[in-house]
């Protein structure tokens, strides 16, 4: 690969490179398409395909009451499985014009709203919700979101300080009354952040003439991929939404906004840090060195301002709970676990644990080299690279679990859905020259 400055590219080629940000190409001139839907869209509109999707989702949900030992997952499956079955009937029996919307509304009600309201009103949730809400209480009363001497796994806070913001409504409203329990529940704010970021990324990537995001967002949210996590925990949902929004902003050269959103992501969980170099290289490839440097500088400065004060005042506690605990190096083992390669290696003892960490480092190095050799030229390519890196991290980590894979799955899916109807380069001022990196 040879990188060169390209201030003298002809205007059509410059537009093609910029248009790749919305169309998913890697520097090719986007093909103009008619208003007819793509093959995938026509296939998705078929009744029997919709019924198949509802059947798969219903089978997934129905399995939880049979195999799970988590009461919250059992409750979700008990409520969601009939909802998916009814959504499938809507797809088959209702007129084509209304069937998808009715099915999405039924699935959203039964698989998300009903279990979420029932669990939140009764104060039941998975341990990560309690960890975030306790961190907010500690932050308000002590200025430090980390317990000084954790004893049990639930005492550890593996999140960066800004995650405690989602628990502030609970710390302020308390638990006195059903309304306070509902509005104070961190899951509500996880969900609202996720939905807002996903809606914003759709609007940025979709063609100006076709930005209807409500139905696709409802389908995604009501799918088991999101609905289960949103109902019982949801701590990873803000990270999913923020990463998708950051890549969409980067593809549209919103450098300041992209930097601030990346700073937010990097202040929630350490797993978001790979998004920063991916977004910076995307901007470099499309718009040049200065916008990329501006985004990186804003992100690093803002993230440092949010995290460094706690790193100074609570350094040992942060290192133990945010770094060592998720990697399985703390005195107490993390309960997170699934039969993934990294977890299975860690179960073999100290040698296996070391092997999993070495493989994790090597996997990250391979993804980093690929990123430098083939920098992304579109939001889709950037999300794919980030998804690949996170998948490697989650699969090879000593304490990975299947739920973490929702982040790379949505990163690979959502930009493709949002960009599908774009028929040309995004609107831009024509007179401004663009520089960047190209491969020749």
pLDDT in tens, 21-63: 434 444 443 443 333 345 555 666 677 888 888 899 999 999 9
Q: What is the pLDDT of residue 211?
A: 61
Q: What is the pLDDT of residue 338?
A: 66
Q: What is the pLDDT of residue 416?
A: 84
- Residue 58's Cβ-count burial label (10 Å; 0-12, 13-18, 19+) is buried
Q: What is the pLDDT of residue 212?
A: 73
Q: What are phi and psi of 321, to 5 degrees?
A: -90, -35
Question: What are the structure tokens assigned to 327, written together?
Answer: 């990697």
Question: What are the structure tokens assigned to 226, written together?
Answer: 């999101």
Prediction pTM value: 0.82
Q: Which residues of the chain have pLDDT under 50?
A: 1-37, 421-440
Could you tell me which of 235, 237, 232 has the C-alpha nearest to residue 78?
232
Q: What is the pLDDT of residue 29?
A: 37
If you ran DSSP here, which 8-state letter would residue 80 be given?
Answer: H
Q: How far is the C-alpha of 286 from the C-alpha of 18, rounded, in Å? A: 6
Q: What is the pLDDT of residue 165?
A: 94
């Amino acid at each position: 690969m040879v990188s060169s400055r390209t201030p003298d590219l002809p205007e059509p080629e410059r537009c093609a490179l910029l248009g790749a940000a919305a169309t998913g190409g890697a520097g090719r001139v986007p093909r103009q398409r008619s208003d007819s839907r793509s093959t995938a869209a026509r296939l998705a509109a078929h009744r029997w395909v919709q019924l198949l999707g509802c059947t798969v989702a219903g089978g997934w949900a129905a399995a939880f009451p049979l195999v799970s030992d988590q009461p919250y997952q059992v409750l979700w499956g008990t409520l969601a499985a009939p909802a998916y079955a009814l959504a499938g009937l809507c797809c088959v029996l209702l007129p084509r014009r209304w069937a998808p919307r009715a099915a999405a509304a039924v699935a959203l009600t039964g698989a998300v709203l009903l279990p979420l309201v029932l669990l939140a009103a009764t104060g039941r949730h998975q341990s990560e919700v309690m960890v975030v809400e306790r961190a907010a209480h500690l932050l308000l009363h002590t200025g430090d979101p980390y317990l000084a001497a954790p004893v049990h796994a639930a005492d550890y806070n593996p999140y960066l300080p800004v995650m405690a913001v989602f628990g502030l409504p609970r710390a302020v409203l308390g638990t006195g009354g059903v309304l306070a329990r509902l509005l104070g529940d961190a899951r509500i704010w996880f969900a609202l952040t996720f939905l807002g970021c996903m809606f914003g990324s759709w609007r940025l990537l979709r063609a100006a003439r076709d930005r209807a995001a409500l139905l696709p967002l409802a389908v995604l949210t009501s799918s088991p991929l999101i609905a289960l996590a949103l109902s019982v925990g949801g701590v990873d949902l803000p990270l999913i939404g923020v990463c998708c929004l950051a890549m969409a902003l980067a593809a549209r050269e919103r450098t300041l906004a992209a930097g601030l959103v990346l700073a937010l992501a990097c202040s929630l969980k350490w797993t978001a840090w790979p998004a920063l170099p991916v977004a910076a290289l995307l901007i470099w490839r499309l718009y040049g060195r200065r916008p990329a440097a501006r985004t990186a500088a804003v992100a690093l400065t803002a993230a440092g301002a949010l995290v460094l004060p706690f790193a100074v005042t609570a350094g040992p506690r942060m290192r133990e709970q945010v770094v060592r605990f998720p990697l399985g190096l703390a005195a107490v083992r993390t309960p997170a676990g699934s039969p993934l390669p990294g977890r299975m290696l860690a179960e073999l003892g100290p040698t296996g644990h070391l092997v999993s960490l070495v493989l994790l480092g090597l996997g990250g190095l391979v993804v980093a080299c690929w990123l430098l050799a083939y920098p992304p030229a579109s939001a889709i390519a950037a999300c794919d690279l980030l998804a690949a890196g996170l998948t490697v991290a989650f699969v090879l980590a000593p304490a990975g679990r299947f739920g973490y894979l929702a982040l790379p799955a949505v990163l690979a899916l959502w930009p493709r859905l949002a960009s599908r109807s774009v028929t040309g380069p995004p609107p831009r001022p024509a007179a401004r020259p663009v520089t960047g990196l190209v491969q020749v």
